[in-house]
Chain A
Amino acid sequence: MTPADIPVLALDGVCRNFGALRAVKDVTESFQPGELNCIIGPNGAGKSTLLDLICGTLPVTSGSIAFGEEAIHGLPGDRIARLGIARKFQVPTVFESLSVLENLQVAAAPAASATELERILGTTHLLDDREVEASALPHGKKQWLEIGMALAMQPRVLLLDEPTAGLSVDETRDTAQFLSELRGSVTVIVIEHDMAFVRDLAARTLVLHLGEVIASGDFADIETNDLVRDVYLGRK
């Protein structure tokens, strides 16, 4: 897939309230085709909620989300998924009673070739575990499996909620490596807490605080931003 096949994902004045709590406030951002983006911010900043709004798990309270020409807010989640927007949840969500390979088969199109699935098993270091029931996988491998499932959908936009949570240092480095490889072919939005990981990615970074985007730009610039250091990164 080349960036030309991927529409721009644009959020305009997106808000989401839970009762009196304003979880996401007036977020206006656009994500360019094939671009790698990170979202950082303290707990409760509204990061996961923002992904929920994009992939249709939650409806927006107000504002609009467009994927190219098409307005996608208000569409059911399965419809949004079929447009090519894939999601990895914060808590690894795989089909526990199915084997690793079956999980990928469910995620992939019915016409997906065996070699394609084989390639994804390789990318996600799961070649030896293909017959293992997903419930028996250790946490790290579940994370990888869910990323593999997202890849099997051949997505145009990949939303990853804390892909490195619970991973070892080596696995985290592998994740950064393979996300970098996706650059240019898939629009990726990653939520992360691991600052070393975000620094490695050197991606465009958004900082969310109390539901608002308080800064965005290169991570190097973000790191030296006074406001961001006050609310999130802390001062050295």
Chain B
Amino acid sequence: MKAAISQGRSATPATRRGLRPTTLVAIATLVVLAALPLFAKSYALTSYRDVLLLAVFALSLDIFWGRTGILSFGHATFFGLGAYGMAVVAIHFEIDPAWVSLAGLLFGVGLAAAVATLVGYFILYGGVRGAYFTIVTLALTLIAHHVAVGWSDVTGGDSGLIGVPPITLFGYAFIGSTESYYLALAVLTVALFGSMRLLHGRLGLVLAAIRDSETKARTLGYRTDRTLLLTFVASASLAALAGAVYAAGTGFVAPDFIALLLSTEVIIWVAVGGSGTLIGPVIGTAIVWKLQQEISSISIAAWPIALGSFFILLVLVFPQGLPAYLLKKVRALRSGKGAAP
């Protein structure tokens, strides 16, 4: 019994990076998602499409937060910039319908990348880390929200902008619910495997090193500021891509897309699924979305209370995220048993 346990322990380091298990879970998840339209009704499918895009958004936060350990409270800013960028280009400019989606995507993602570069440069090169980074990015979301509400000539103010056309790429319009669902799934698949490929390689190792000790990483010759900034900008760009495709799917944008509540929710999706795992946040998004449906159907007021309570638990009890917390409990339980004669 003892031997079996200690053997199980010594096997942990080899699989500790969790490359294989998470990759397998990712493939399994995507296969299930690909088969989903065969069983779901058309209306439900548009909801699922939105969940997939929110999952891309959660993934984008995980790329930064999960790998660097630095929490951004400003990711709704980038999601919102993507969505608003798409909407503004589509509604305020008269662009050939065949190209308007591409222009909107480029503008939205470019805008978010520019803001992330500018803000990220000053705070990351200025040595702002940890809780201070979180606070600065929180302020960023508040500012962005005020701009979205206040600059009504461009953003439509409180009511937002309606009439964002569906994504049209190279003459093909993703209008139907099935088509747009598969488009969202394609975005998720590419984003997921792209980030896995990058982060399971040397970059992931360097980011983990920076998370453990940035000073040490610097004395090894790494330009840690630059690595963190590039990761932040990549993460913001992916958030914007999710936002732009989301806006094209729903057909409108509203100040909710660029608000503190969304910044908070995305943190919870990542925390529920397990930060740093990439596939975890995707699953976390779906779980929380389902919970939201169930709890809101009992009482609309119950959801924000549940969300807030969970957030407090997150900070106080399991700052590493729910799966890491549960795993630790299970391990403690097992080693507790192992120690008993």
Contacts and interface: CB of A to CB of B under 8 A. Distances in A.
Contact of B205 (A57, A102, A132, A149): A102
A132 B208 CA distance: 16
10 shortest interchain CB distances as A-B pairs: A81-B221, A95-B212, A131-B13, A82-B221, A93-B216, A95-B209, A106-B209, A77-B218, A78-B218, A87-B219
B146 interface: no
Contact of B219 (A55, A96, A99): A55
Interface of B: 13-14, 16, 202, 205-206, 208-209, 211-213, 215-224
Contacts of A87: 219
B221 A106 contact: no
A78 B215 contact: no
A96 B16 contact: no
Given A99-B13, A105-B205, A106-B206, A153 B221 contact: yes
A31 interface: no
B206 A99 contact: no
A86 interface: yes
Interface of A: 55, 57, 76-78, 81-82, 86-87, 89, 93-99, 102-103, 105-107, 110, 131-133, 149, 153
Given A97-B211, A106-B206, A132 B220 contact: no
Given A89-B219, A98-B208, 7 more contacts: A78-B220, A87-B219, A94-B216, A95-B217, A102-B205, A131-B14, A132-B13
Contacts of A55: 219
A89 B220 CA distance: 12
Nearest to A87: B219
Contacts of B222: 78
Contacts of A153: 220-221
Contacts of B221: 78, 81-82, 153
Interface majority SS (helix, strand, loop, mixed), chain B: helix
A208 B206 CA distance: 36
Nearest to A130: B13
A141 to B, nearest CB: 14
B16 A99 contact: yes
Contacts of A57: 215, 219
Contacts of A82: 221
B220 A93 contact: no
B219 A133 contact: no
Contact of B220 (A97, A133, A149): A149
Contact of A110 (B13, B202, B215, B217): B202
A57 B217 CA distance: 12
Contacts of B213: 93-96
Contacts of B220: 78, 81, 86, 106-107, 149, 153
A81 B223 CA distance: 10
B208 A95 contact: yes
A102 B212 CA distance: 13
Contacts of A131: 13-14
A94 B222 CA distance: 15
B295 to A, nearest CB: 35
B212 A97 contact: yes
A78 B219 CA distance: 5
Given A97-B208, A99-B13, A81 B216 contact: no
B200 to A, nearest CB: 12
Nearest to B16: A133
A57 B223 CA distance: 14
A96 B212 contact: yes
Contacts of A96: 212-213
Contact of A86 (B202, B215, B217, B219): B219
A98 B219 contact: no
B65 to A, nearest CB: 15
**Which residue, of B218, B221, B222, has the highest number of chain A Cβ atoms within 10 A?**
B221
**Which residue, of B205, B211, B219, B222, has the highest number of chain A Cβ atoms within 10 A?**
B219
A105 B213 CA distance: 15
A67 B212 CA distance: 30
